[in-house]
Amino acid sequence: MPLRDSATGQVTKEYSIADLRDAACLMRGYNLVALCAAGSGHAGGTLSIMDIAAALYLHVANHDPKNPNWPDRDRILWSAGHKAPALYVSLGMAGFCPVEDIVTLRKLGSPFQGHPHWLKLPGVEVSSGSLGQGLSIAVGMALAARIDQKSHKIFCLMGDGEQQEGQVWEAAMEAGHYHLDNIIAVIDCNRLQIDGYVKDVMNVQPLVSKYADFGWDILRIDGHNMSEIVDAFDRARLSSGRPVVILADTVKGKGVSFMEGQPGWHGKAPNREELDKTLNELGLAGRIPVEELLAKAKAWQAEATRALDARMPRFSRDYWWNADPATMQVKMEPTRKGFGGALAENGDDERVVCIGLDISGSITIADFYAGHPERANRWISMGIAEQSATAAAAGFAREGKLPVLGSYATFSAARNLDQLRVSVCYSNLNVLVAGAHAGVSVGADGATHQALEDLFAMCGLPNMVVVVPCDAIETRKATRHLLLDHVGPKYIRFAREATPIVTDESTPFVFGKANLIRLRAEGAEFAGAFEARLAEDCANEHEDLSIIACGPMVPEAMRAAWILKHEFGYETRILNMHTLKPIDSEAVIRAARETGIIVTAEEHQIGALAGIITSSRELYGTRVITSAIGVKDRFGDSGAPWELVKELQVSAEHIAETAIELMSTKRQHAEHFVHA
Ligand SMILES: Cc1ncc(C[n+]2csc(CCOP(=O)(O)OP(=O)(O)O)c2C)c(N)n1
């Protein structure tokens, strides 16, 4: 059943098995070019699913590219949203969008987001990226079709690692219970996930008997044999009374010798040289206009950069990081390194147990056991199962262990919110939760992976304490403190991208006590020009204004202070509010009373920091003007992390612009601002 014209019911294009094989090969090529142009993305899984995708989009599914919302179309859901580029090239080949445009993948403003967003691209059925949710959506769609007496099918593409998510099994149970024979699930059984082989990370086999027990029919095929794929879909369509799952045996990285079966190629893109090799191996040299496509990607990027810079607040010169090698120079390191460093240093404590959630290397929790085989029994891999792992951490804590779990903050502090609330916080158990890759720092992955709401939730949980360190050094100190000294539920939030190092070993870090930072004199490098001390040890210097910041916004606040001094002569008091909960109220009140202006700066939806500060009861009656920098009630976007800092208006320039406005208000009402 191929591509159709929805108006006439006529078939618009027929693909033979040989055509499909050729199309899949070409799709692999376009996929790799897009990944190369993006500089990031998932090569392994997009290549393993490609033959199935080609069959589905070009031959099996009943759909019409000219009428993507045709009510009678078959629905195709990509539960494994990280395979988005394979979805995009499928849509491109089927005619839903120009295949040449996919090369703008993961760039700011592109409809080809790092993970699919149905509101940005016709043909994408649902937004995905958080694994394990697609089959539940399919259940809803299948039941809706039944109510509406429609006969279309709902296809749902999943990974084998994804089967570790408990939600998959809730959906499998529902589909079996309701005899949803309009669901055809496909599992891309490439046997690998991020941390290694599925069987080692968290075995999901035998899938056959699991699905059978839930009332499904099972087909097992070679996921690279086009005849078998097409035949399986034909048979699945005929199923009556039972949902069908196709277990497709595949090879991760299929088609490219140096990617096949290599875990390292899960979330990696080929560079230019590697791209040429892949295209040669696929026999595609000369068939894809690579140079033209890469030029298109470059042009998109240039325009995105131009438009973004045009929207930035302007000053007499460029104050961006490292723009002026004499003054704005900083070392950059990802804050996550501090987390892993602290676990490595303090992991000998026999009570420490680290829980892996299949993203262990990049969030650095793996540093706990790297080079320490004696710690192997305290490294517990739980797979992609954040909810159960969170409650398991509560179990460890109840037995006197010091459990640490971490993932992307969206998965370790959102997906598992109820487990955190009841099993961890209500029980007041000693669990350290790491919100890694938080904020905009995952950049090109896009909105699904950018935690911009986690601090609301974590600060809102009774008993939970929350620390958001400002650089890698402070992250190491904070992790150590939380791990060994603080007893109770605790959340530490850090980032993926390298950010400026603005503290050193001698900078104080006292849990619950803000540091006060002041610009003193220009040093050899940016950070050296500032002095940081415990706020409670600092006398009032009658600064013009205060900026209260946490996490990666502390360096931005420092840069804003620099701009304000150089452009306007204003003196700024910066509070590094690394501990968001409990907040250092004394430092806040003093900042309000002694400067009369507070600008809060958070790399998060506005309100986690701003809400705590401005709702402080002790501020009642204090004459203070406040404003908040942060994300303004919107989702993020794919783009480079530093582009997103600009796009979401959380840069030093935005802080400085706001501070200038508040200074002008303060001057207009000068008589009210006579300070201590
Ligand atoms: C809920 C959730 N947890 C973690 C991740 C991060 N993540 C992205 S892909 C992936 C591994 C997926 O493995 P698998 O399902 O086997 O896919 P494949 O190997 O085919 O790419 C993980 C853990 C995520 N996207 N969603």
pLDDT digits (tens, 9 = 90+) for 358-408: 999 999 999 999 999 999 999 999 999 999 999 999 999 999 999 999 999
pLDDT (0 to 100) of residue 525: 84
| CB of 253 closer than 8 Å to CB of 47 | yes
For residue 48, the CA-to-ligand 1 centroid distance in Å is 14
- 347's tokens: 């992991």
Residue nearest to atom 23 of ligand 1 (CA): 358
Nearest atom, ligand 1, residue 407 CA: 4
Q: How many angstroms is it from 570 CA to the middle of ligand 1? A: 48
Give the single-character DSSP code of 514.
P
Question: In a 3-state reduction of DSSP, which class is residue 489?
Answer: coil
Could you tell me what percent of the chain has a pLDDT over 90? 95
- Distance (Å, rounded) from C-alpha 60 to C-alpha 15? 10
pLDDT of 1 > 60? The answer is no
CA of 159 to the centre of ligand 1 (A): 8
Residue with tokens 């911009």: 452
The SS3 of residue 347 is coil
- DSSP assignment of 79-115 equals SSGGGHHHHHHHHHHHTSS-GGGGGGTTSTT-SS-SS
pLDDT in tens, 33-73: 999 999 999 999 999 999 999 999 999 999 999 999 999 99
Q: What is the atom index within ligand 1 of the atom nearest the CA of 132? A: 1
pLDDT of 22 reads: 98
> Region 142-149: what's the mean pLDDT?
98
- Asked which of 314-328, 471-485, 567-581, 586-600 is least confident by mean pLDDT, the reply is 314-328
Interatomic CA distance for residues 441 and 98, integer angstroms: 30
Amino acid at the residue 11:
V
Amino acid at 480: R
Question: Mean pLDDT, to the nearest integer, of 495-504?
Answer: 96
Model pLDDT, residue 584: 96
Do residues 489 and 420 make contact, with C-beta atoms less than 8 angstroms apart? yes
Cβ distance 66 to 4 under 8 Å?
Answer: no
What's the pLDDT score for residue 575?
Answer: 98
Query: Quick one: which of 117, 15, 99, 29 has its CA closest to 57?
Result: 15
Question: For residue 676, what pLDDT is reported?
Answer: 52
Please report which residue ranges of 462-552 form alpha helices under DSSP H.
Answer: 472-480
Whole-number Å distance between alpha carbons of 593 and 300? 48
Closest approach atom of ligand 1 to CA 359: 23
Taking the complete model, does pTM exceed 0.95, yes or no? Answer: yes
Residue 6 is predicted with a pLDDT of 92
Return mean pLDDT, the chain. Answer: 96
Closest CA to 452 of 559, 358, 553: 553
CA dihedral 480→483→489→492, nearest 10 degrees, is 40
Output the pLDDT for position 632: 98
* pLDDT tens for each residue of 434-450: 999 999 999 999 999 99
Reply yes or no on whether the pLDDT at 96 is more than 70: yes
Distance set, CA 534 to CA 467, 506, 512, 538, 624 (Å): 16, 12, 11, 7, 22
Q: Whose CA is nearest to atom 9 of ligand 1?
A: 82
Q: How far is the CA of 271 from the centre of ligand 1 (A)?
A: 23
The mean pLDDT value for 397-420 works out to 98
> In angstroms, what is the span from residue 177 Cα to ligand 1's centroid?
27
Tokens of 27: 């799709």
- Quick: pLDDT tens for 146-192: 999 999 999 999 999 999 999 999 999 999 999 999 999 999 999 99
pLDDT band at residue 534 under the 50/70/90 scheme: very high
**Separation CA 389–CA 333 (nearest Å):** 29
- pLDDT one-digit tens code per residue, 233-280: 999 999 999 999 999 999 999 999 999 999 999 999 999 999 999 999
Can you point out the beta strands (E) in 149-195?
Answer: 154-159, 183-189
- Nearest-angstrom CA–CA distance, 263 and 12: 39
What separation in Å is there between the alpha carbon of 383 and the centre of ligand 1?
Answer: 9
Residue 398 backbone class (left: φ over 0; alpha: ψ -120 to 50; beta: rest): alpha
Contact between residue 248 and residue 221 where contact means Cβ atoms under 8 Å apart: yes
Residue of 302, 271, 289 lying closest to 100 (CA atoms): 289
pLDDT confidence bin for 324, thresholds 50/70/90: confident
Residue 193 Cα to ligand 1 middle (Å): 7
Question: At 326, is the pLDDT very low, low, confident or very high (cuts 50, 70, 90)?
Answer: confident
Cα separation, 650 vs 283, in Å, equals: 46
CA-CA-CA-CA torsion sign (100, 105, 108, 114)? positive
For residue 158, the ligand 1 atom closest to its alpha carbon is: 15
Give the DSSP H/E element, type plus range, for residue 627: strand 625-631
Closest ligand 1 atom to the C-alpha of 81?
25
User: Coil, strand or helix: which one is 646?
Assistant: helix
Q: Which of the listed residues 358, 362, 449 should we mutate to test ligand 1's pocket, taking the one with most ligand atoms within 8 A of CB?
A: 358
pLDDT value for 4: 86
Determine the pLDDT at residue 673.
65
Per-residue pLDDT of 337-365, as tens digits, reads 999 999 999 999 999 999 999 999 999 99
Residue 432 has pLDDT above 80, yes or no: yes
| Token pair listed for 102 | 């996919």
Which residue of 193, 195, 408, 445 sits with most ligand 1 atoms within 8 Å of its CB, as the best mutation to test the pocket? 193
Per-residue pLDDT at 37 = 98
Q: How far is the CA of 191 from the centre of ligand 1 (A)?
A: 12
Confidence band of 11 (pLDDT split at 50, 70, 90)? confident
The per-residue pLDDT for 182 is 98
- Spatial neighbors of 155 by CB under 8 A, at least 6 apart, are 56, 60, 61, 74, 75, 76, 77, 184, 185, 186
**Contact (CB, 8 A) for 598 and 548:** yes
Per-residue confidence band for 419, with pLDDT thresholds at 50, 70 and 90:
very high
Other residues' Cβ atoms within 10 Å of the Cβ of residue 453: 18
Report CA(667)–ligand 1 centroid distance (Å): 54
Ligand 1 atom closest to the Cα of residue 115 is 25
Closest ligand 1 atom, residue 49 Cα: 20
Q: pLDDT digits over 616-649, tens only?
A: 878 888 899 999 999 999 999 999 999 999 999 9
Q: What are phi and psi of 108, to 5 degrees?
A: -55, 130
Q: Which residues line ligand 1 (CB under 6 A)?
A: 44-45, 48, 80, 82, 129-132, 159-162, 188, 190, 192-194, 252, 266, 358-359, 384, 407, 411, 415
The residue ranking higher by pLDDT, 525 or 115, is: 115
- The total number of residues written for the chain in this structure: 676
Contact 437, 363 (CB under 8 A): yes
Residue of the CA atom closest to atom 6 of ligand 1: 359
pLDDT confidence band for 674 (50 / 70 / 90):
low
Q: Show the tokens assigned to 357.
A: 């959630």
Query: What residue owns the CA closest to ligand 1's atom 4?
Result: 384
Interior angle at CA 454, CA 449 and CA 455, nearest 5: 145
Round to whole Å and give the CA distance between 128 and 116: 6
Span from the CA of 492 to the centroid of ligand 1 (angstroms): 23
Q: Give residue 134's pLDDT.
A: 98
CA 162 to ligand 1 centroid distance, Å? 6
